[in-house]
Amino acid sequence: MGDLVSNLSLGFSVALSLQNLVLAFLGCLVGTLIGVLPGVGPIATIAMLLPITFGFDPTGALIMLAGIYYGAQYGGSTTAILVNIPGEATSVVTTLDGHQMARQGRAGVALGIAAIGSFFAGTVATIVIAALGAPLTRLALVFGPAEYFSLMVMGLVFAVVLARGSILKAVAMILVGVLLSTVGTDLETGQERMTLGLQFLSDGIDFAVLAMGVFGIAEILRNLDHTETRDVVRQAIGRLLPNRDDFRQSYKPVLRGTFIGAVLGILPGNGAVLGPFASYTVEKKLAKDPSRFGRGAIEGVAGPESANNAGAQTSFIPLLTLGIPPNAVMALMVGAMTIHGIVPGPQVMTRNPDLFWGMIASMWVGNLMLLVINLPLVGMWVRLLKVPYHLMFPAILMFCCIGIYSINSLPTDVMFIAFFGLVGYLLIKFGFEPAPMLLGFVLGKLLEENLRRALILSRGSLGTFVDRPVSAGLLLVAVALLVVALLPTIRKGRDEVFTE
């Protein structure tokens, strides 16, 4: 307990420095903005903003990027309630009852309970991260290369099972990502791999180029593909602070949503996205009158909104303690850490305690900022919702091109984001989710590195992965999970859950 307090004291001393406060505020503001504007998600935004962070110190850069991520969760609820369009995948459920409340003149109460629930969940999740951070890191430090390899295999299998759509398509996307990570000169042998004789591929594919193309440019193309309609609520926003009855109906859903979101957020894959859906289902099952749901039940906003914020924050646990990104946003954070010369993993806590604890403390500070940014400024967000997308996308496109060119001053990088943008757009059109590909790309290098180390230590024996109990256990879990997910009855049930 004493260690936790002293660690959090260190974290708050870092998070409360003037520079980090400004960066956290900027991250939260940009996150809310992109959460409010439908069509610009946190993945695309973080990918586009990666080049800007090169000028900051690593702690400040990661604090800002993290602020964008959980800020988008708050902003997404504003769009879901006022426009009936989820600004973020995690806000889909909020549209069901949040928009109905807005139509009944209770938009302010819906926004208020969403913000209060999110703040409470964020606070609890911050404590969970701080409490679990040190023990998990100590556990990870005793892992050898074989255990790390097996852990990553298990993480990738989780990502496959929890990805939306076909399992086979998710497996294919992960394999493509792993293959892309091997392009370039092999540092061990000096041999060029899959460069097709092209000189600019000898250094491999740049993470920022792939992320910005597949998420940033592809997202712009996807948004231009369909006609834009926004059903902005015309009724008055009304009072923002929920009354006693609203709190009485909401406090249990907030507590349950926080627990569900915090647990599911740690899972690799779409764990953080599943939280709000699971919370909504639980609230509907527990309700005395389930027919109220979908017609403006405040529990249908309080639970899912708490779950999505708790999940967004606990998804940092695998990244900060094990160095394994559980979703595409965390994969981008791994990319940002690598760009700043920080090796993701348990060593972050021992070698960079300022960064580790500073990021955790900044999450609570950021949540407090979001409470202030969101409620008083709701009028401004409503006006922003009326900006047509065709006026925004040329600026976003120009920003992408300038940003990627500023990294290496290479015209080929600009052409590459256009190429990957087109590839990303086609993938989405044909029902392939690009997020597993980015996970495969990030984990591919780590997989190869740990596979090589494990084989060198065991003198080339593959038996090392099953001889070591922890490694064997992790591989067993991965195989069992994949087999169960492929069983016809389970696969059908899984498809129905995702469809619902």
pLDDT in tens, 150-184: 888 887 887 777 666 777 888 888 899 899 988 98
Average pLDDT of span 361-387: 79
Average pLDDT of span 228-237: 64
Whether the CB-CB separation of 48 and 216 falls below 8 Å is answered with yes
**First-to-final CA distance of the chain:** 43
Average pLDDT of span 310-326: 80
Say what percent of the chain tops pLDDT 70: 91
- Encoded amino acid at 136, one letter: L
> Cβ of 64: how many Cβ atoms within 10 Å?
27
Residue 219's pLDDT band (cuts 50, 70, 90): confident
What pLDDT is attached to residue 190? Answer: 80
Instruction: Please give the residue range of the domain that contains residue 131.
Output: 1-498
Average pLDDT of span 37-52: 73
What pLDDT is attached to residue 327? Answer: 74
Residue 191's pLDDT band (cuts 50, 70, 90): confident
Q: CA nearest 92: which of 259, 272, 237, 332?
A: 272
- CA dihedral (444, 448, 453, 457) in degrees, to 10, reads 120
Instruction: Please classify residue 96 by burial: count the beta carbons closer than 10 Å to its beta carbon, then call 0-12 exposed, 13-18 middle and 19+ buried.
Output: buried
Residue 252's pLDDT band (cuts 50, 70, 90): very high
Residue 256 has pLDDT above 90, yes or no: yes
Residue of higher predicted confidence among 462 and 226: 462
| Number of domains the chain contains | 1
Cα distance between residue 102 and residue 112, in whole Å: 12
At a CB cut-off of 8 Å and minimum separation 6, what does 104 contact?
Answer: 235, 296
How much is the pTM? 0.75
Q: Compute CA distances 349 → 79, 137, 322, 345, whole Å.
A: 37, 7, 10, 8
What pLDDT is attached to residue 253? Answer: 92
| Mean residue pLDDT across the chain | 81
- Encoded amino acid at 31, one letter: G
Integer-rounded Cα radius of gyration of the chain: 22
Beta bridge partner(s), residue 192: 185
Instruction: Please classify residue 74 by burial: count the beta carbons closer than 10 Å to its beta carbon, then call 0-12 exposed, 13-18 middle and 19+ buried.
Output: buried
Residue 378 has pLDDT above 90, yes or no: no
